[in-house]
Amino acid sequence: MARFWARFAEEKLLNAAWTSMWSKGEQKERAEKETLEALEKIEEQLNGKTYFGGDDKIGYLDIAVGWISYWLPIWGEVGSYEILDPKNFQA
């Protein structure tokens, strides 16, 4: 299951975030929406836990997906939009 979510993050989240960073108009809006939807689905997998592997251990998915959260605010700044709204994404 972890491999599925790692691939999901790569194919859905990263592609949408990258597209929203460099696009304009309707394409940018669509990509921003896809980015938020992908983030919501990934955050649901945390289910209130500290790590995807549980509260006490880092797993494959934490490593495969964890670095993305570091770059999203930077990509948002470059693309002039806010990806990680603390109200919506608390994990």
Please report the pLDDT score of residue 26 as a whole number.
95
Q: At residue 91, does pLDDT exceed 60?
A: no
DSSP states of 26-55? HHHHHHHHHHHHHHHHHHHHHTT-SBTTBS
- 87 in any annotated domain: no
Whether 8 is in a domain gets the answer: yes
Residue 88 has pLDDT above 80, yes or no: no
Instruction: For 12-61, write each residue's pLDDT tens digit.
Output: 999 998 898 888 999 989 998 998 899 889 888 888 888 888 878 899 99
> Domain with 12 in it: what CATH number?
1.20.1050.10
The SS3 of residue 61 is helix
Determine, yes or no, domain membership for 88. Answer: no
Residue 62 CA to residue 66 CA, distance in Å, equals 5
pTM: 0.79
Confidence of residue 76 (pLDDT cuts 50, 70, 90): confident
Q: One-letter amino acid identity for 88?
A: N
